Structure 1
Amino acid sequence: MWMKPVSTIVQHALKTGSVRATSTILAGEPTEPKVVTSEIPGPKSKQLIGDLDSVTQSSSVQFFADYEKSIGNYITDVDGNSYLDVFMQISSMPLGYNHPDMLEVFRNEENLKALVNRPALGSFPNEFWPQKLKDVLMSISPGLDNVMTMMCGSCSNENAYKCLFMTYRKHQRGEKIEFSDEELSSCMINKPPGAPNLSLLSFKGAFHGRTMGTLSTTHSKAIHKIDIPAFDWPIAPFPKYKYPLEEHIRENKQEDEKCLVRIEELFEEFNKKGSPVAGVIIEPIQSEGGDNEASPEFFQQLQRTSKKYGAGFLIDEVQTGGGATGKMWCHEHFNLDSPPDVMTFSKKMLTGGFYHNLDHKPSQSYRIYNTWMGDPSKLLLLEAFLKVVKKQNLLHQVNIVGDKLKSGLHECEKEFPIINSVRGRGTFLAVNVETTALRDKIVGNLKKKGVLTGGSGDQAIRFRPSLTLQEHHVDILLDRFRKVLKELK
């Protein structure tokens, strides 16, 4: 990792409480939220939603944004409302809105041409592509040798799954590289041995995407899956912890052990039914499924179990990656025996893709391929983002601001019994509400007070701010959160 360790001076200051977050306020950023319409969405947004609905499905639209006026940690809508955004486009805006370093990228004519002349990267990449991959993506590799770029989280996982299957079959064949005539012909009609009976193990509450393969490993909300055919693959229990963690060590350890026993049982069951598990797919924190977290010890043993059965170990860092947990990759908190075999990314990383070890590198061309396979312009944006992270020591800032936010949420938890189970790492945090209806009401009322948050699972409110969130932003968030909770008492 290129990130410098925290200096001894900073370490001392952290212990003494004398360190504050680096100032990352952008010129023109509002000092507080401002809501000027009696309803949200306001009249202009409502009209635009009607216009949009005449050509496409629009019921998920909350409001129309004015991205010209949005700045830093604030998003402005077309009706003039300005919100403190601690949801950040579903965890995908790493530096907030209109960051000058990001805007500067395409003022460079060479970079602008890379944006306009979008290549089919698998066949006609830019001259700078190999070096950019080394300088940018490989500079933050989680210890893996290769990287494949993709467009989004779903297609990153979808293609990573293919790597898991191909590598498992490679191991079954041994030294044999060539495919048999039977394999080549049978795969064309979706039959074994060319289309083998293999499975992937995923977890209850997981979200890995909405494409066909990833949807079979997604188990967070029924609306994602209803009416869509799915593979008969094993679904393991994800630990359900009691909070505060420090008061329930014994119970949570037992929960880990119970889940790990069931995981091993599923490996055996699917081996016996002729559909062996070729890979395990897991999020470091289940982000859509309710911000569910598991212990480092759980992840360590899960990796060992995967290795025992010859299954690839894939960690999905699509939402958790990019620094929000206080490390570039959330799984770096887990002290694993070795890097995962495959790790996917997107969202805050601004481009999709996956890192993998050499064992999971396809031997033949076109096995992992599509027209664009990412976008050079997105890698240029990622390069600018990483420079800001390094220059402003934003991972350090995330930990300072995250500690303040988490402490404030714990205080709210003590004051208002309708919320519980504060959890997470860095600023990647969540809190539970007693019921889904009450959770949705709190999220809606926060929006009316100029704060954008989001829900996850059935009961959680999730916080997904940019890495530039400041301590005074946390004060605003907690103040408005308390006001909403008081109004519900």
Structure 2
Amino acid sequence: MASALRSRLNVRPAACFRATRSFSTASVRRGPQPFVADEPKAPSVQTAIPGPKNQAAAKELDEVFDIRSLNLLADYSKSVGNYLVDLDGNVFLDVYAQIASIPVGYNNPHLAKAANTPEMIRALIDRPALGNFPSADWSHIVRTGLLKAAPKGLNQVFTALSGSDANETAYKAAFMYRRQQERGGPDVDFSEAEYKSAMINQSPGSPQLSIMSFKSAFHGRLFGSLSTTRSKPIHKLDIPAFDWPQAPFPALKYPLEEHVKENAEEEQRCLQEAERIIKEFHNPVAAVVVEPIQSEGGDNHASPAFFQGLRDITKRNNVLFIVDEVQTGVGATGKFWAHDHWNLQSPPDLVTFSKKAQTAGYYYGNPALRPNKPYRQFNTWMGDPARAILFRAIYEEIESKDLVRNTAITGDYLYGGLESLAKKYPHAIQNLRGKGQGTFIAWDSPNRDEFLVKAKSVGVNIGGSGASAVRLRPMLIFQQHHADILLEKLETLIKA
């Protein structure tokens, strides 16, 4: 078993890259030593996109699996570092990282080593039902990985299966906390009326409480998380939803330095409306959930002052503050957690995570956010030890290579290059945003969808968000020489 797993997980030797070494290599700026010595030097496109092998494989897959959201079929055995290889041998510089979810590169040897251990094999083949039968080493796994990365002020974690699940369970925690407070504390038992009414989905056992989110937000596709998602109708159509409020999210004008007064007024307007909703909405607000940067909704930013104001409002109104770091967390913004940019006086009540963590859940610090009885926050798996082990290896890789700092430095370099392109081609790169936010950068494109398709023809896998935004989500091992390649390819696309 171990040898079979080892053969599947070991990074393939450099000799396997011979077919991809004959790229036409542009002259690029030589920055720091590459993190991945044996990755391709540049993208290489040999066929039309999609190529014949991709088309044939997609047709076969379509017989048993819905492929209408298909981007491409990847050959992960040949993908390495920042480069994704498709079935036709086309090599793409991947600045989308699947869906912002690959942290330290394809075929990372440190992750492969973590996967090839007795600890991982046990976690995979004897997957524990964590709530009832955690393994003897579960505390060690959590303490040496997830809790080492915990946001400041938060020292406990609830593990989950996905970003949507992380938000769903955070919402449950908020509701249980709210009702526990109203009831008189964790030692006060439920009333007979609560027990009976809960079984018919009526109050007081099923209270009419709400979670407030923001216009253009995205928090997931399950029932509770979907009711807080406001990015696209296609996510929500035909699905029954909770009667929960949305507040306006600031619509900033760019460049920021030219619209300081208007943006400050816009943020203040949104804060005032958020507090009005909390005070007046007919289903009392138990928690506010917000993304540090609205990702799916169009890469919408707000200033630290806005989030500081929002935190003050939640404290003032006894409402929990949930920060959804599913996409922004784990280093992408040049801080390990994006809310570290805000310099809050008190930490969020709950911080949800997934994607680059390769696991999911939420952090919290207040012991009262742990339900007062067992089985209230529960499911069979309650996360996955195998993914927690992988996250520990990701965290070790980030720390040992100082990848958060690398992302901050590379992001500044990349943003500077994009600013130059925006000045040169103002029609093509509009509302450039993400300065000082690592590589979490975006801009608006008048022909966004066409632009994303054409990017593959020059060997770049890139994504979009909202109605018109092109969003960059490179991995934490993305460096200045990769930025040079990307900038060159972007200019080629714009000229074309």
Same fold by TM-score greater than 0.5: yes
Q: Distance in 1 between matches of 2:212 and 2:239?
A: 19
- 1:242-264 Cα offsets, whole Å, 9 max, x none, are 11111111110000111011111
Q: Distance in 1 between matches of 2:204 and 2:332?
A: 43
* Equivalent position SS for 2:441: strand
Matched residue, 2:60 = 51
Q: Distance in 2 between matches of 1:115 and 1:472?
A: 37
* Equivalent position SS for 1:96: coil
Q: Distance in 2 between matches of 1:62 and 1:137?
A: 31
Which aligned pairs between 1:235-246 and structure 2 lie closer than 5 A?
A: 235-246=246-257
The alpha-carbon deviation at position 21 of structure 1 amounts to: 6.1
- Which of 394, 398, 423 is matched with 2:403 structurally? 394
Matched residue, 1:14 = none
Q: CA 1:21 to 1:237, structure 2 compared with 1: closer, same or farther past 3 Å?
A: farther
Matched residue, 2:284 = 276
Q: Distance in 1 between matches of 2:110 and 2:141?
A: 18
The alpha-carbon deviation at position 422 of structure 1 amounts to: 1.4
The alpha-carbon deviation at position 470 of structure 1 amounts to: 1.2
Matched residue, 1:482 = 491
More deviation, 20-29/142-151: 20-29
The alpha-carbon deviation at position 26 of structure 1 amounts to: 2.2
- Indicate whether 1:107 and 2:116 are aligned: yes
- 1:446-478 Cα offsets, whole Å, 9 max, x none, are 111000110000111000011001111100100
Matched residue, 1:455 = 464
The alpha-carbon deviation at position 336 of structure 1 amounts to: 0.9
Q: Distance in 1 between matches of 2:60 and 2:378?
A: 37
Q: Is the 8 A contact 2:120 2:389 kept in 1?
A: yes
Counterpart amino acid of residue 135 in structure 1: T
Counterpart amino acid of residue 288 in structure 2: V
* Equivalent position SS for 1:101: helix
More deviation, 316-325/301-310: 301-310
Q: Distance in 2 between matches of 1:126 and 1:196?
A: 36
Long gaps (5+) in structure 1: 1-19
Q: Is the 8 A contact 1:290 1:456 kept in 2?
A: yes
- 1:156-206 Cα offsets, whole Å, 9 max, x none, are 000110001011111111235200011011001000000001111000010
Q: CA 1:146 to 1:22, structure 2 compared with 1: closer, same or farther past 3 Å?
A: farther
Q: CA 1:21 to 1:301, structure 2 compared with 1: closer, same or farther past 3 Å?
A: farther
Matched residue, 2:267 = 256
Counterpart amino acid of residue 35 in structure 1: V
- Indicate whether 1:376 and 2:388 are aligned: no
Q: Distance in 1 between matches of 2:146 and 2:188?
A: 30
Q: TM-score, normalised by structure 1?
A: 0.92
* Equivalent position SS for 1:140: coil
Q: Is the 8 A contact 1:23 1:470 kept in 2?
A: no
More deviation, 452-461/101-110: 101-110
Matched residue, 2:5 = none
Matched residue, 2:101 = 92
Matched residue, 1:10 = none
- Which of 315, 334, 337 is matched with 2:345 structurally? 337
* Equivalent position SS for 2:265: helix
Q: Distance in 2 between matches of 1:135 and 1:110?
A: 14
Matched residue, 1:180 = 191
Matched residue, 2:220 = 209
Q: Distance in 1 between matches of 2:56 and 2:368?
A: 53
Q: Distance in 2 between matches of 1:177 and 1:430?
A: 50
* Equivalent position SS for 2:477: coil
Q: Distance in 2 between matches of 1:350 and 1:262?
A: 36
The alpha-carbon deviation at position 331 of structure 1 amounts to: 0.2
- Indicate whether 1:348 and 2:372 are aligned: no
Q: Distance in 2 between matches of 1:469 and 1:257?
A: 36
Q: CA 1:163 to 1:373, structure 2 compared with 1: closer, same or farther past 3 Å?
A: same
- 1:380-418 Cα offsets, whole Å, 9 max, x none, are 111111111111111111111101111111111111122
Matched residue, 1:310 = 318
Matched residue, 2:296 = 288
Q: Distance in 2 between matches of 1:321 and 1:268?
A: 30
Matched residue, 1:190 = 201
Matched residue, 1:11 = none
* Equivalent position SS for 2:490: helix
Matched residue, 1:17 = none
Counting matched residue pairs gives: 461
- Which of 166, 172, 194 is matched with 1:162 structurally? 172
Q: Distance in 2 between matches of 1:109 and 1:198?
A: 46
Q: Is the 8 A contact 2:58 2:67 kept in 1?
A: yes
Long gaps (5+) in structure 2: 1-29
- Indicate whether 1:413 and 2:425 are aligned: no
The alpha-carbon deviation at position 77 of structure 1 amounts to: 0.3
Q: Distance in 1 between matches of 2:345 and 2:480?
A: 35
Q: Is the 8 A contact 2:149 2:395 kept in 1?
A: no
* Equivalent position SS for 2:147: helix
Q: TM-score, normalised by structure 2?
A: 0.91
Q: Distance in 2 between matches of 1:446 and 1:333?
A: 32
Matched residue, 2:163 = 153
Q: List, as ranges, runs of 4+ consecutive aligned residues in structure 1 with deviation greater than 6 Å.
A: none
Q: Distance in 1 between matches of 2:459 and 2:156?
A: 43
- Indicate whether 1:466 and 2:463 are aligned: no
Q: Distance in 1 between matches of 2:202 and 2:216?
A: 31
